[in-house]
Amino acid sequence: MAFRKKAAHILAHKPDILVIPECEHPDKLKFNDDLPRPTDLLWFGDNKNKGLGIFSYSDLRFKRMRNHNPELKMIIPIAVTGNKHTFNLFAVWANNPTDPDGQYVEQVWKAIDQYKRQISKQNTVLIGDFNSNTIWDRKYRVGNHSHVVDRLKKKGIVSSYHLYHNQIQGSEEHPTYYLYRHKDKPYHLDYCFVSADLAEKIKSLEIGEYDLWAQYSDHVPVMVTFNDE
């Protein structure tokens, strides 16, 4: 929440695209005059204090896909276009408490079905807060975290963090979330899944440090840089 209070620290990394879960509505965003303004943005949510914001700080532009299913409230299919790049971006904040089938990673599982044509083997990114990890798999429930990972893998889509840092799902060395901002309660909940063509272009992947970011949020940023070729 309160992206406006964290914007300076995030924008110091000069991102091309930001995906911000728990982001206030653009009407509530008041940035300091010395901060760059986004060149494009989308926002989704029912609560103007807490939605899902997608911001461009580059030539990249956004268009929500026409087959967006509003029942999957916080998984947004977006066509991204620019002078050099075109890809499908699925902005994720897996959080739908009204769905009896499950409010967290089950939403991603459903989205893979809903957008199976758009979630392709090329030019695909799924990024955001999945609110899930293999450690919480329910063995006999369809659509748990491991099921999502395996299904995306069959499409050639992998977690950029696990690939870049050679990590195993459920045994991550770098947390992205600290419960109640407590350093001794770390979890890995935020992901950037990419298709194989983009995976080959990963230049770096950085997870924010607790000591720097805990004063601003219970999550730390996942920052992925691709070779611009």
Q: Is the pLDDT of residue 216 over 70?
A: yes
At residue 106, φ and ψ (nearest 5 deg) are -60, -30
Q: What is the pLDDT of residues 45-65, one digit of tens each?
A: 999 999 999 999 999 999 999
Q: Which amino acid is at 182?
A: H
Span between the terminal Cα atoms of the chain, in Å: 34
Amino acid 132: pLDDT: 97
Amino acid 186: pLDDT: 98
Domains and CATH numbers, the chain: 3-221 (3.60.10.10)
162 token code pair: 């696990």
Q: Is the pLDDT of residue 139 over 90?
A: no
Cα 216 from chain centre:
18
Amino acid 1: pLDDT: 57
State how far the Cα of 72 lies from the Cα of 24, in Å rounded to an integer: 19
Q: What is the pLDDT of residues 160-208, one digit of tens each?
A: 999 999 999 999 999 999 999 999 999 999 999 999 999 999 999 999 9
State how far the Cα of 107 lies from the Cα of 151, in Å rounded to an integer: 14
Q: Which amino acid is at 192?
A: C
